[in-house]
Chains A and B, each alone.
Chain A
Amino acid sequence: MKRREFFALGAALGGGPWPATGAEHPRKDPPRGGTTLALDGERQFWREAAHYQKLPESRVECRLCPRRCQVADQENGWCGVRLNERGTYYTTVFGRPVTIANDPIEKKPLFHYKPGSLTLSLATAGCNFECLFCQNWEISQFRPEQIPARYGFVSPEDLVELAKRQGSRSLSFTYAEPVVFFEYALATARASKAAGLPGVMISNGFIESAPMDELLQELGAVKIDFKAFDDKFYQRQCRGTLEPVLRTMERIRKAGVWLELVHLTVPTLNDDAEQAKRLCGWVLEKLGPDVPVHFTRFHPTYKLKNLPATPPATLERQYDIARKAGLRYAYLGNLPGHEGENTRCHGCRETLIRRVGFTVLENRLREGKCPKCGEKIPGVWS
């Protein structure tokens, strides 16, 4: 795609080929096979990877995520987007987004970060988890060469330019897993920060500390999918582990970068009250009461189609647990129109922001404060 065509495409982002509302996923029909690029075409997206160690016999050890893949020559890492070629490790997705959309920031979801604004959102192929309930598995669980490079090479500067033209107020790395396109996300976050557009990371948090610290210097906000307070859940349902995710959340908080959490509540797997109490207790103790926690509704998908959607009553119970635990900002997600989507003052319980789905109906905040009691509401509001 030529540069001019790429920016022309941007005119459609608001409501064109990508849904502006709906679930947090890009197009559901990415073609598989058919028009991928030839070998030389794919190489334009290769950059030497950051955070890896060379080993004897042309092997490498990836130090980007806690998986620490040891990768032989010509093999991919577990994520599918990092490749060892003759002892040099490459990211194969630099400048290779597979989806771009201009979303409401509420779709991420981030409720205390520039509410009502648009965020230019992008993803490459690949993920370092395999959640059985992944909504975006059609990009997260495929390798880049299996998904057509519909935009050609898109530089970080191109994305910033597109975001400006679209009226976006931030730039989000989302849909699949930004950890695995670390180099592209970092370069884009730097370029967008310089242009006054903060970068936003929507992640599983399964990343080593050193690369996370690099990202945190450039980002304006992070949303972490806190999938369960249960290591077995992480192992069995996501093929990951819990401890590195906890560590990441603490680092984000210490760095002073705005943080929100999402807990996708899956019936029978992570919906019991005791676990919700432990999760909320940990958040309160380690992250503080001001970190918003979104309890969102599961819908059957990918490899988890044998379970029903989460009953609203289950989510309401988790909401109550969070409030009783002392968390000031609990929300319910994927329940459009529910009272649990609204922001209420933690001091006087006045409704401050009314939402339906990803749309902000009313924002009564005055310079980040409650108009009734004057309480300062935590978040980034402008």
Chain B
Amino acid sequence: MGAGCLRKVPMDRRKFLQTLGLASAAAGLSSAGAACARSAAQKPAGDGRSRVALVTDPGVRRGEEIDAKRVERLLRATLEKALGSANLAGVLPADEVVGIKLNCLAGRPLSPALPLVEALIKILSDAGIPRERVIVFERGERDLRRGGFTPGEHDGVRYLGNDSAGAGYEEEPEISGQLGSCLSRILTRRIGAMINLGVLKDHSLAGLGAGTKNLYGLIHNPNKYHDNGCDPYLADLLAMPVVQKRLCLTILDGLTAQCHGGPGFSPAHAWSYNSLLASRDVIALDRVAWDVIEERRKQTGLPPLERENRAPRWLRTAASRGLGTDEMIRILVLREVLS
């Protein structure tokens, strides 16, 4: 059969561009990605409160290793609590490429666990999002490697850093409040929806290096925005339209958590928390994470973050702008311990 006889497969413009990984490039920074708008910030429970799931499985480890089956079960239970269903089709826009933003800065001991990432990809697959439509990404390939991930394509899933071939940053800075940064092209052009997969840990300047702080990996110049405990810069970043549009869900890996000495790994302050947290409201999620960190600090004789002048004030700033909920009275924390 000659080339001229090839059957044409109907393909609309969006699908065609997705094939090229350029959907957003054509649509502009703020228009691609259909369904996540505002959902990242505010998806209240029926009573108006933001839902945050905090689910623990004391048996999630087999020796030192994370048990793949148990962590998948734990993740499904966490999503069920946070979303009302473990089916991610309900929170992700159809037909979009889904990005999973990791936080591997601290190296393998305090990065999202490999079995957890694989479980999330499997759950996405169950929701009708094939592995070929998943991009796992980080600030740079170096960070991916530190977390135990190998850049490149593996079983259909692409693992990219912002410095990977074809990635990079937008040519011009995007201004939001006091923040002005070139955004990751993975965010703006390669994906239509984002799951923010951070780590439950302390941060020496921001107070908390969990959900919102992980978004610093989306910009080229986070080193310029750590002054004043990252306030208001984290709120400025979260307020960016493209971030609001893409961010559908935040999950925190609390299998190993750390209450002091972050963002790097500090064995003396890390503990096996064996828990996952999830919410569509990243500010509410970080508010709950802060409580968990403070509780652990108290147990281990450390002063509250406020006494070290690094309470995460940016939570209030973000909440005051309507980017999420930081008052515990307006947050529904759904806890469960799996047996």
Contacts and interface: CB of A to CB of B under 8 A. Distances in A.
A35 B173 contact: no
Contact of B163 (A33, A80, A84, A239): A33
A141 B180 CA distance: 11
A57 B266 CA distance: 8
Contact of B165 (A34, A79, A84, A146): A34
Contacts of A303: 173, 175, 180
Contacts of A80: 221, 223-224
Contacts of B166: 33-34
Interface string A78-89: 111000101000
A36 B145 CA distance: 14
Interface stretch (B50-58, B256-264, B282-290): B256-264
Contact of A32 (B168, B205, B262): B168
A143 interface: yes
B145 A39 contact: yes
A130 B181 CA distance: 11
Contact of A74 (B105, B164, B169): B105
Contacts of A72: 203-205, 261-264
Interface in B302-325: none
Interface string B95-106: 000000000011
A52 to B, nearest CB: 16
Contacts of A31: 168
20 contacts: A32-B169, A32-B182, A33-B162, A33-B166, A34-B164, A42-B142, A72-B203, A73-B263, A73-B265, A74-B264, A75-B263, A76-B223, A80-B224, A141-B220, A142-B220, A145-B140, A145-B163, A146-B140, A146-B162, A302-B173
B167 interface: yes
Interface of A: 31-36, 38-39, 42, 57-59, 70, 72-80, 84, 86, 130, 141-143, 145-146, 239, 302-303
Nearest to A36: B163
A74 B165 contact: no
B266 A73 contact: yes
A202 B203 CA distance: 35
Q: Which 5 A-B pairs have the closest CB atoms?
A: A33-B168, A73-B264, A72-B204, A74-B264, A32-B168
Nearest to B226: A78
A86 B164 CA distance: 26
A57 B204 CA distance: 11
Given A34-B168, A303-B175, 13 more contacts: A33-B166, A34-B163, A34-B165, A38-B142, A57-B261, A72-B261, A72-B262, A72-B263, A74-B105, A75-B264, A78-B224, A141-B224, A146-B163
Contact of A79 (B107, B162, B164, B223): B223
Interface string B119-146: 0000000000000000000001110011
A57 B175 CA distance: 35
A302 B224 CA distance: 15
A78 B203 CA distance: 16
Nearest to A39: B142
B174 to A, nearest CB: 10
Contacts of A78: 223-224, 226-227
Contacts of B106: 74
A77 B173 CA distance: 21
Contact of B141 (A38, A74, A77): A38
Nearest to A72: B204
A153 to B, nearest CB: 18
Nearest to B146: A39
Nearest to A76: B223
Contacts of B264: 58, 72-75, 84, 86
A42 B142 CA distance: 9
B317 to A, nearest CB: 19
B261 A33 contact: no
A35 B168 CA distance: 10
